[in-house]
Structure 1
Amino acid sequence: MQTAAMVPVGQQESLRTQESVVARAMEAPAPAPATDLQVELIQDYKSFIELETPWNRLVDESRIDHPFIRHEWVRTWWDCFKPEGSLFIVRVTEGSRMVALAPLMVDRGRMYGCPVRRLRGIANVYTERFDFIVTSRPEESCRAIWKFLASRSKDWDVLELRQLSPAAQALMTIPRMAIDDRFLVGTWGSTRSPYIPITGTWDEYGKGLSRKYVSNLRGRLKGLSRLGQVTHEVIQGGEGLSQAVDDALRLEGAAWKQKAGTAIVCDPKREAFYRRMMLSAAQQGSLRLYFLLVKNERVSMQISLLSHNKLYLLKSGYDPRFAAGAPSHVLCWRLLEEAWSLKYDEVDLLGAVERWKMNWTDDVRPHSWLFVFPNRPSSRFLHSIKFRLLPRIRSNFAWRLLLKCGALIGLKVHDE
C-alpha cells in the first residue's frame, strides 16, 4: 500500500534526487514525431473489455515483470472500486498492430483544497506499481501518447502517475516531452519497497542474516512446535480455494487491523477487489496463497502473486492467539526457503520500508509519483505549492506536527 504526499519525510527521496530524475529524462534528444503511428482514445467499458488479449500480449512483449498493469488486474480494480470517473485509455497502433497503451482515467479530486480535474492512472493505493505499456519504438510511442494528452490539456488540470519505478517508460520520457512543450513538471518521492534478490544458495543467504534474528526465529518455531506439528501449505487453486480465500481475509484482519478499521474486510469494495483478484489470479495460474499451520490449523497467511518468476507479497496476517510464536515471521522464513528451492529470481516485499521487512534484506526499490500541469495560472499555483513551497517547509517540525494533527481529524494533503 502506498501514498505520495503523506509519506514520512524519512521515507522520501530528496528533492535533489527527484530533480535528477527529470534531468536524466531531458538528456535524450527529441526525435521527429512519427507519422505512421495512430492514436485512439478508448472510453467505453465494452471496448476496454475487448482489449484483454492484445493488452496482455503487449504487457508480455514489453517485459513488464509485475502483475499490477495486466488487464485482469485493471479490470478487477475498475469493477470493484467503481471510481467516480471515466476511462481514458490511449492506444497507439502501427498499422493493425498495437504497440503502446496508456491505461488512464479522468476524475475530479482536490489538491490542497482546490478542486482539480485529474488525468491519472487506473490505480489507487492497492496498485503497487504503474507505467505505460510500451513495446517497440518506445520513444516514438510515448511521444505519440504525450502529444495526444497535451492536445487535450484544456480538459484536465493535472496528469498524475503514481508508483513509477526508476525504469518506468513514463518516467523516462514524459517529463522531458512535457517540459519541451512548456508544461510544468514535478516528481514526488513515494515508497521505497524492500525486495530480496534470489542469488547464491539458501545457506549463504541465511548466513547473511542477523544471527540474533535467526536465533529468535528458531526459538519462536520451537514454541509453536510445542503446540503441535508446524507445517505450511501453498494454495494455487482447486476445490479448497474458496475456503482458503475466506481464511486469508479472516487472518489478515485478525490481529489488529479489523479493530482499527483498516482490514480488507472493513471495506466492501476493498474486500470485493481482493476476493476477485485472488480468484482471477488462480485462473491465470499466478496465485500463491501461503499458510502456516499449527496442528493443521491455519495461523498465519501471505497473499502473493507469481509473475515472470518473481514473487510479489501483497498482504499478510496472523491469528493473535499464536502471536508469541511470531507465525508471520516463521511463514516468511518458510516462504523464502521455498523461493530459493524453486529458483525464483526475486521476492518483492512491496509497500514501504518496515522493520520486519528489513530483517530480510538491505535492498530497496524507490518509486516516484509524476505530476504534469498545463501552464496556466491555476495550475502554476498548485505546482508552486507542491514543488517550491512544500519542499522548503516539509522537514520543519511544525509542519510534521500539522500533518499528524490533520490526519487525526481526517484532513488530507490531497486525495489518494
Structure 2
Amino acid sequence: MRVFTRLEDLPAAYQNLMLEADAASNFFASFSWLQTLYAESLGAEHSLRLYGLEKNGQALLLLPLCVKDKINARKHKLGRSPALLAASNYYSSLFSLIRASAQEVTEDDLNFLLHQIAQEVPRWSSLDLHPLALDSMQLPAIESACRAAGMAVQRYFCFGNWYLKLNGRSFPEYFESLPSRLKNTLKKKQKQAGKNNNLQFKLVQTEAELPSALADYEQVYRSSWKPSEAQPQFIAALMRSCAQQGSLRLALAYLDGQAVAAQFWIVHRGRALIYKLAYDERYTPLSIGSLLTCHMMRQVIEIDGVSEVDYLTGDDAYKQDWMSDRRERWGLRAYNLRSATGILAAFWHLGRKHSKRLLQRIQRVFKT
C-alpha cells in the first residue's frame, strides 16, 4: 500500500488509472473533478490521503480519502482516534473506489488494502464513504473487505437519483413519452413565448464566453429559491474546468434581454449530467425553468448524442416527469475495532441488538 497526500504526487500509473475511470463515464472519479473539488472546496478544512495499491508496477486500486484537520487535531490531543472520510462533500453526486478492470483486481487485493488502512498507526476510528452507487458491485465488495479487515459496518441512505435511458430515441420520440400535463404546459408556454418573441436561449461551452455568462448565472441564482452557495468559487472553477475539457453546457434563458433562468449541465462520455439549475422566482408562471430544460434536452439528444441524462442528486418531484428510472446512493460507515474510539462508536451507532456480535468480533480482532 502507498499513501499520497497531494494529487500532484500521484505517479503516472495512478493518473492513468483515473483516466480509465474517466473513460468509463465516471466523471466523479476523474482527476480534474478531484483536483477542482479539493482546490476549491474540500481543501479549506481537509487534508488528502490517497491510498493506492499496485502489483508488478501496475496501479490496481486508488481510494481517495481525506481527514478533517481541525477536528482530528483536537481528537489527537484528547487521545482519541480521528476518522477517515471519502474525498467528497455536498458538491459530490457519486463517490467510488477507482480500480483497474475487474479481471485484474481480485477480492484479496481489496481486502489487503482495507486491512492495511485499518492497521495504520495511529489508528483511524472509522471510515465513512459516500455517496456510493447501490446498484454497483463496489458497495458490497467494500463492505465485505471492511468486515474482513476487522471493522463493524453500517449502511445508510444518502439520496435518490433520477436518470433517463434514451435507448436510441430521438428528441421527438422522447418528448412524446413525457407526462401529458408536462407536454401541454410546454406547448402552451412555448406558444406564448413565440407570440411575444422576447424569450431567447443562450448556450455557453467555451472558457472565453464564461465571464459574462457566469455573471448572468449568479444573478439568476441570487433571484431564485436556492440558498447561497457554501463556496461559490467552486461552481465557477468547475465550470472553467469543464470548459477546458469541452464538457461545459451552461444554458441561460433571457426575457427582454434579462437573464431569468440558468442551468449548468456537464456532457461527459455520452452522458449528460444536470448539475445545477435555478430560475428567477418572479417568472414562475411562465414555466421558464421547464422551457429551458426542454431546450437543453433537445440539445443533448440531437446535438451531443448522449445515451443517458442524469439528474444526479435528490428525489424532487419534478425530476420524475423528465426521467425514466430511479436508483439510490448510499453511504458506508465502518468502525475500526482496533481503535478504542472506533469500538465506542460502533456500540453507540449499532445499538444493543448488535452488542453480543460486536463483542465476539472484537475478541477475534485482538486474537489475530
| TM-score normalised over the length of structure 2 | 0.83
Which one-letter code corresponds to 1:383 in the other structure?
A
Task: Give the C-alpha shift of residue 53 in structure 1.
Answer: 5.8
State the distance in 1 between where 2:207 and 2:313 align. 29
State the distance in 2 between where 1:132 and 1:303 align. 26
> Which of residues 95, 101, 117 is equivalent to 2:82?
117
> Which of residues 203, 207, 221 is equivalent to 2:172?
203
Which one-letter code corresponds to 1:344 in the other structure?
V
> Which of residues 372, 378, 398 is equivalent to 2:334?
372
The answer to whether the 8 A contact 1:230-1:293 is kept is yes
1:8-407 correspondence to structure 2 within 5 Å? 39-43=1-5, 45=6, 48-51=7-10, 54-62=13-21, 63-81=23-41, 82-107=43-68, 117-136=82-101, 137-139=104-106, 140-152=108-120, 154-168=122-136, 170-199=138-167, 200-257=169-226, 262-264=227-229, 267=230, 270-342=231-303, 343-375=305-337, 378-388=341-351
1:155 is paired with a residue whose SS is coil
Task: Give the C-alpha shift of residue 153 in structure 1.
Answer: 6.7
Cα distance change of structure 1 residues 53 and 301 upon mapping to structure 2, 3 Å threshold: farther
Which one-letter code corresponds to 2:39 in the other structure?
D
Over the residues paired in the alignment, what is the CA RMSD in angstroms?
A: 2.7
2:190 is paired with a residue whose SS is helix
State the distance in 2 between where 1:327 and 1:116 align. 51
Cα distance change of structure 1 residues 311 and 387 upon mapping to structure 2, 3 Å threshold: farther
Which one-letter code corresponds to 1:118 in the other structure?
A
The answer to whether the 8 A contact 2:204-2:248 is kept is yes
The answer to whether the 8 A contact 2:65-2:86 is kept is yes
Identity of aligned residues (%): 20
Cα distance change of structure 1 residues 234 and 102 upon mapping to structure 2, 3 Å threshold: same
> What CA deviation, in whole Å up to 9, does each residue of 1:119-168 have, x standing for no partner?
01111011110011101423344233212212217521110001100354
Task: Give the C-alpha shift of residue 319 in structure 1.
Answer: 2.4
The answer to whether the 8 A contact 2:201-2:252 is kept is yes
State the distance in 2 between where 1:173 and 1:353 align. 26
State the distance in 2 between where 1:145 and 1:273 align. 31
1:72 is paired with a residue whose SS is helix
Task: Give the C-alpha shift of residue 77 in structure 1.
Answer: 1.7
State the distance in 1 between where 2:296 and 2:93 align. 21
Cα distance change of structure 1 residues 242 and 116 upon mapping to structure 2, 3 Å threshold: farther
Other-structure match for 1:8? none
State the distance in 1 between where 2:147 and 2:236 align. 42
1:232 is paired with a residue whose SS is strand
Deviates more, 1:52-61 or 1:148-157: 52-61
Which one-letter code corresponds to 2:191 in the other structure?
K
Which one-letter code corresponds to 2:181 in the other structure?
K
Which one-letter code corresponds to 2:154 in the other structure?
G
State the distance in 2 between where 1:323 and 1:126 align. 26
Unaligned segments of structure 2, at least 5 residues: 73-77, 354-368
1:365 is paired with a residue whose SS is strand
> What CA deviation, in whole Å up to 9, does each residue of 1:171-207 have, x standing for no partner?
1322112222331011101111111112223333222
| TM-score normalised over the length of structure 1 | 0.74
Which one-letter code corresponds to 1:57 in the other structure?
N
The answer to whether the 8 A contact 2:153-2:335 is kept is yes
- The count of residues paired between Structure 1 and Structure 2 equals 339
